[in-house]
Each structure stands twice: as C-alpha cells, then as structure tokens.
C-alpha cells in the first residue's frame, strides 16, 4: 500500500432528478466525470477527451456540461456530454481561447437558465487579456456577448425567471464587483458599492428573482452570509468574526447551509430561511467549504433537501457525504482512500508572532516516535496562491514524509485566505518581504520544540510556494539543509511578463509594475535569481513543460544559474504536464521529493 493509492475527486453535484451524483475523479488516470447512483450502485465513468476541470448537469438531466483542458495549457473548452452514450458535442473549442463557466479553478456559478434553454460562459476570444460574458441559446445555437469585459468578468447565474444574469468582476482575489445584465432590454448595472477592495461570492438567487444570497465583506473585514436585494438592501444571515466561505440554498428555497472557516476546518451551519441557525451534525471534522469552491469543496442540496458535502479530512482521503440535516445523520457515498495505509498523522494548530507583530498560524505534523530523545528533521511546506490556505486535508507527500520520520509544518503566512481581508492583502506588492519574515518566525518557533532537529530543516512548495522556496534558500540560506521548488518563479519581473493573458491587468496591484523603475528595483532585489550565489543547501527544481501560469523558463534559468555558480542543484522537467498535479506521475514525484529530503536531512 502507498500514500498515492487513492482517488482524487472534486466538484460533486446531484442530478436534477435526485437519483445520482456526478463528480470529477482521476480514477481512470486523468480527471473525468463519474456518475454515482444514490441507491448504492457503483460509479460509472463518462469518458471525455482531455482532462475535465468541472462538470455539472443540464437542468433537465439529459446532458452534462464539461469544462475540458485538452493539454494542460488551461485553454478550457466547453462541451455537452450524453451521460448514457458518452456522445460529446463541442460547444466552444477554439485553439488559444479560454472559457469559464464560473470563477477559474473553482466550482461555483450556475451557467444554465432554469429551463436549460440558455448557457452563459466567459471567453477571452475577442481579447486574450479579458473575459467577455456570452449567452448561447441551446435551442438555436445563436449566441451573443452580453457584457464586453475590460477585466475578468464571469457569469454566476441566471435569475429564476431567466431575465437577469448575475456577473462577477474578479480583478483580484480580494477585489470583486457584481453586475446584473438584463437580457431583455440589454442593460447592465452594478449592484455592489464602489468602496475599495471587497469580496462578493454569489450563492443563489432568491426564488422571486428580487435579489440573491452572497458571501461578502460588505463593510466588514471577514466574509459573512447575507441577502442583497436588487434595490441595494443588504440583510445579514450570519456575520461572525471568521470567514463564511461558501453557502447553498435548497432547490425549494426554504433552507440555507453555509461553512465558517475556523483554523482551516469548516464549521457547517444551516437554518430554515428566516429561522435559527444550527450546527450541522453527523460529519467528522474536516474541510467542506472553500472560497468559490476551490478544489471542489462546495455545498449542494439534493432535490429531496439533503446536503451533499465534499469533505476533506486530515486522516482520510476526501469523500462525498449526504447529510440529513434535521436528523443530524450523514451517509458516506464514496471510499476514495480504500487503498491507503493506516496510521495517518493529524496536525495540531500552532501560532507564532512575526517580526512586525503579525500572528502566523501553522499546521504541525509530528511523526510517530518523535521525542526529545529522538529529535527528527522537519520540512516546511509553503502553499501556493499565495492567497489560499494550508488546511487539514490529506496530502500524500506530507504523509510520506511522516512515514520516513520527517515532521512537516504547513504555515499560513500573510497573504493566506481564511483570516480576513486585512491579513490576505498583506502579501500584495510585498512578495519576498513580510512573507519571508513570517517563515523565519515559524522556523524560530519550531526550533524551540525539543523533538525537532532544528539544524535539519527543509523547505518545499509549489507555484507561489515554489517561489517562496527559492526565496528562502537565497535570502535565508542559513536556515535550510535542503529545498524542493515545484513550478516556482525565480524572477518576479520575467514572471509577470509571462503571466497568462487574463492575469496581466492584475499584476501591478498584486506584485508590481514591470514598467515602473522603482517597482523594478524592488522586485529585482526580491527575486531569487538575483541572489543565487547565496544558496548553500541542495535544491531540487521541478516544472511541467506545458505550464502556462508560471513559465517553465523560470525554473530552467534558476537551475542554469546555480550550476554556473557550482551550487548543488537538480532539475526535473515533466513533459506534457501543466501547472496542476500530474496524477500519472504522482507516485514517482512523491517518492522523488521525499527521497530528496530523506537523503539531505539525515
């Protein structure tokens, strides 16, 4: 048995007739739709060319809409698939064009009108740097642009009467606006205030089309759940001093369910509309909700009113559960981790104060047998984004390191989501600054633990985490014995210039302006490539050759520079792989990374 013997599933949605659930799984070797009967039968593969990033039912249940990545380059195509015959009808499949039916990388947004006649999607066909919003009439094939974008505009759902389309402007992860497009008279109006950065995550329209539920930071530092009328009146449902990261409304419009982020775990709540909120009972602790449904953690109701939950857990693979809310009873639908070994380690949550007084939380995984008499090496693994969160869910690399006697710390440094707007925005225009101070503070705290061998530390990360690894090895070289950077940037300026087209308008506010001399000087000073001569620890650098989020040249340039300087470095390029995890090579990658640390942290 191996820590990679599991099924990775995401984005589950009940069928309109309530008899089955569709979800994306990599059980066949690549992400594909699977249909699972709710009467206890086995899941059935619906094969589609390419990797499926999202799938959902047409309202009549006759077709599945799939968002397909043909080659890892993330130029997503749209198709409808007959779930019985597997017949595929491509709706939008133009080379070099990206389509979305909701926020990128998420699983929220309802692209069909209630009668299934209209389909809304975003496309950058007109201008590669922006998303326009299109509506297609599936009866005639006619389509039109209903909102010409000057940024990333994404459809979030038709009103129940099919007249209005709610649209999200996603400029930054902390800077959203909502618009309503009237499909009859052709007008568009903004329905959220212009008061500076804010988050607005649409949940569902009100049954009478007079407004909608949303998770929002409206005049708050944290996301709360509210109803917003089209007249502009906001009514709070739940506004705790924590982020309400997602919610769902039952098909009959009578019941709400939502998730509150508490140290990465989800506290699920539910209530009859207008009633008293209660905690959801019957589920083990874990992660059920993420912002915009990242990684598929989004709540859905069945037609019968049961709550479908994709639950990530620290001591098990992610599975699907059906919850009877009034009874407080949950039924597990899948067994994605049937092939995993026993003995998973559950993390504890610790905190440390950074140099400027910020409190930095982190998850700490302690191997079995680690003690003051037998201190163990430790790897700090930095999440990507940087605006996501290290959460207590199953990760094969973490458990493999623990099996080899290596502890793991997963910090939520500034920029992480789940701790409110202020904390998340601290990373803006400060990559390689306060974030490194946070990581240095985490190391200081770890070295106070008698069971951690503080002189045998490694650092690992992917995407932004890969940049953080290279920054740690070059600007905090005395802390580390080894590092592994996956698809990380080494030069902030060249990274920005090679951004995916739809990211370019956000670069200046997010990282810096590559055309401003002062910003160029600051970004150069914080780019690992500039300080490669300071590297002491051996570093393994990996990258997918089809990556369109971070140019593979970022890794290749860093490796070449290190070798020119005579530094210990290894480069592994993955052919045919993009920015996402390569399931076909997962076992080999986990073994390579774990062996690298095992060899160098002895």
What is the mean pLDDT of the segment spanning 593-600? 98
Please check whether residues 569 and 436 belong to one and the same domain: yes
Contact yes or no for 528/535 (Cβ under 8 A) = no
pLDDT for 585 equals 87
Q: How far apart are CA 138 and CA 78, in angstroms?
A: 13
Indicate the number of domains in the chain. 3
pLDDT for 602 equals 87
Reported as a single tens digit per residue, the pLDDT across 337-383 is 999 999 999 999 999 999 999 999 999 999 999 999 999 999 999 99
Please check whether residues 138 and 1 belong to one and the same domain: no
pLDDT for 561 equals 98
Q: How far apart are CA 238 and CA 273, in angstroms?
A: 12
Contact yes or no for 360/441 (Cβ under 8 A) = yes
Q: How far apart are CA 134 and CA 31, in angstroms?
A: 26
Instruction: Please indicate, yes or no, if residue 315 is contained in any of the structural domains.
Output: no
Instruction: Please indicate, yes or no, if residue 559 is contained in any of the structural domains.
Output: yes
Look at residue 497 and give its three-state secondary structure. helix
- pLDDT of 198 over the 90 cut: yes
Of the residues 58, 87, 116, the one at which a domain ends? 87
**pLDDT band, residue 574 (cuts 50/70/90):** very high
pLDDT for 239 equals 97
- pLDDT of 1 over the 80 cut: no
Residue 187's domain is classified under what CATH number?
2.120.10.30
**pLDDT band, residue 296 (cuts 50/70/90):** very high
Side-chain-side CA neighbours of residue 524 (13 Å): 8
Beta-strand runs (E) in 477-523: 482-486
Instruction: Please indicate, yes or no, if residue 290 is contained in any of the structural domains.
Output: no
Q: CB-based contacts of 6: which residues, under 8 Å, 6+ apart?
A: 317, 336, 337, 338, 339, 340, 394, 396
pLDDT for 319 equals 98
Buried b (16+ CB within 10 A) or exposed e, 57-72: bbeeeebbbbbbbeeb
Reduce the secondary structure of 133-164 to three states and give it as a string.
Answer: EEEEECCCCCEEEEECCCCEEEEEEECCCCCE
**pLDDT band, residue 154 (cuts 50/70/90):** very high
Between 572 and 578, the higher pLDDT residue: 572
pLDDT for 426 equals 98
What is the mean pLDDT of the segment spanning 384-397? 96
Helix axes 586-600, 396-403, angle to 10 degrees: 40
pLDDT for 68 equals 97
- pLDDT of 437 over the 80 cut: yes
**pLDDT band, residue 581 (cuts 50/70/90):** confident
Domain that holds residue 120: 98-198
pLDDT for 242 equals 97
Contact yes or no for 238/224 (Cβ under 8 A) = yes
Instruction: Please indicate, yes or no, if residue 68 is contained in any of the structural domains.
Output: yes
**pLDDT band, residue 46 (cuts 50/70/90):** very high
Please check whether residues 430 and 561 belong to one and the same domain: yes
Nearest CA to 288 out of 272, 308, 306, 266 is that of 266
What is the mean pLDDT of the segment spanning 574-595? 90
pLDDT for 391 equals 97
- pLDDT of 598 over the 80 cut: yes
Please check whether residues 359 and 469 belong to one and the same domain: yes
Nearest CA to 176 out of 218, 136, 226 is that of 218
Pairing of strands 153-158, 348-353: unpaired
pTM to 2 decimal places: 0.95
- pLDDT of 310 over the 80 cut: yes
Of the residues 59, 87, 115, the one at which a domain ends? 87
Of the residues 43, 63, 87, the one at which a domain ends? 87
Please check whether residues 62 and 115 belong to one and the same domain: no
Please check whether residues 361 and 495 belong to one and the same domain: yes
pLDDT for 583 equals 80
pLDDT for 195 equals 80
Please check whether residues 357 and 424 belong to one and the same domain: yes
Please check whether residues 111 and 51 belong to one and the same domain: no
What is the mean pLDDT of the segment spanning 91-96? 93
Is the backbone peptide bond immediately before 386 cis, with ω within 30 degrees of 0?
A: yes
Query: Can you spell out the DSSP letters for 288-341?
Result: ---GGGGGG---EE-TTSPEEEEEEETTEEEEEEEEETTTTEEEE---TTTTSP
Reported as a single tens digit per residue, the pLDDT across 222-272 is 999 999 999 999 999 999 999 999 999 999 999 999 999 999 999 999 999
Over pLDDT 90: what percentage of the chain?
Answer: 96
> How confident is the prediction for the chain on average, in pLDDT?
96
pLDDT for 106 equals 94
Reported as a single tens digit per residue, the pLDDT across 448-478 is 999 999 999 999 999 999 999 999 999 999 9
């Amino acid at each position: 048995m191996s820590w990679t013997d599991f099924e990775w599933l995401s984005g589950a949605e009940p069928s309109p007739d309530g008899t089955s659930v569709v979800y994306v799984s990599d059980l066949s070797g690549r992400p594909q739709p699977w249909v699972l009967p709710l009467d206890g039968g086995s899941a059935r593969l619906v094969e589609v060319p390419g990797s499926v990033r999202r799938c959902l039912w047409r309202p009549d249940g006759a077709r599945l809409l799939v968002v397909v990545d043909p080659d890892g380059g993330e130029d997503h195509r749209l198709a409808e698939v007959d779930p019985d015959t597997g017949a595929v009808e491509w709706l939008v499949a133009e080379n070099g064009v990206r389509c979305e039916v909701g926020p990128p990388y998420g699983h929220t947004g309802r692209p069909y009108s209630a009668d299934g006649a209209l389909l809304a999607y975003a496309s950058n066909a007109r201008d590669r740097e922006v998303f326009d919003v299109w509506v297609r009439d599936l009866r005639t094939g006619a389509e039109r642009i209903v909102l010409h974008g000057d940024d990333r505009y994404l459809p979030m759902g038709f009103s129940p009467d099919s007249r209005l389309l709610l649209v999200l402007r996603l400029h930054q992860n902390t800077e959203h606006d909502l618009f309503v497009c009237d499909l009859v008279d052709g007008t568009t109006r903004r329905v959220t205030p212009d008061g500076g950065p804010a988050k607005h995550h649409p949940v569902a329209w009100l049954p009478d089309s007079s407004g909608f539920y949303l998770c929002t930071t409206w005049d708050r530092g944290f996301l709360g759940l509210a109803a917003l009328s089209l007249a502009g009146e906001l009514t709070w449902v739940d506004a705790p001093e924590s982020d309400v990261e997602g919610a769902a409304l039952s098909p009959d419009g009578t019941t709400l369910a939502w998730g509150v982020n508490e140290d990465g775990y989800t506290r699920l709540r539910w209530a009859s509309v207008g009633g008293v909120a209660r905690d959801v009972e019957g589920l083990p602790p874990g992660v059920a909700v993420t912002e915009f449904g990242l990684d598929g953690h989004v709540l859905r109701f069945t037609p019968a009113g049961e709550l479908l939950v994709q639950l990530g857990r620290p001591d098990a693979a992610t599975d699907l559960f059906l919850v009877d809310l009034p009874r407080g009873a949950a039924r597990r639908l899948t067994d994605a981790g049937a092939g995993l070994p026993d003995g998973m380690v559950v993390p504890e949550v610790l905190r440390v104060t950074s140099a400027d007084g910020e409190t930095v939380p982190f998850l700490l995984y302690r191997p079995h047998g680690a003690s003051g008499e037998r201190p163990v090496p430790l790897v700090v693994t930095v999440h990507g984004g940087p605006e996501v969160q290290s959460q207590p869910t199953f990760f094969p690399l973490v458990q493999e390191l623990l099996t080899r006697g290596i502890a793991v710390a997963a910090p939520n440094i500034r920029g992480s989501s789940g701790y409110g707007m202020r904390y998340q925005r601290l990373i803006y225009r400060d990559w390689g600054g306060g974030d490194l101070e946070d990581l240095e503070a985490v190391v200081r705290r770890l070295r106070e633990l008698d069971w951690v061998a503080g002189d045998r530390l490694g650092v690992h990360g992917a995407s932004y985490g890969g940049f953080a690894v290279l920054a740690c090895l070059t600007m905090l070289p005395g802390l580390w014995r080894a590092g592994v950077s996956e698809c990380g940037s080494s030069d902030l300026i060249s990274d920005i210039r090679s951004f995916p087209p739809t990211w370019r308008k956000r670069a200046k506010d997010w990282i810096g302006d590559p055309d401003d001399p002062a910003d160029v000087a600051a970004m150069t000073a914080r780019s690992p490539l500039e300080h490669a001569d300071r590297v002491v620890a051996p570093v393994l650098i990996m990258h997918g050759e089809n990556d369109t989020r971070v140019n593979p040249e970022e890794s290749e340039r860093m490796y070449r520079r290190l070798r020119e300087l005579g530094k210990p470095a290894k480069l592994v390029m993955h052919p045919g792989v993009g920015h996402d995890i390569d399931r076909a090579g997962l076992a080999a990658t986990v073994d390579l990374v774990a062996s690298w640390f095992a060899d160098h942290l002895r």
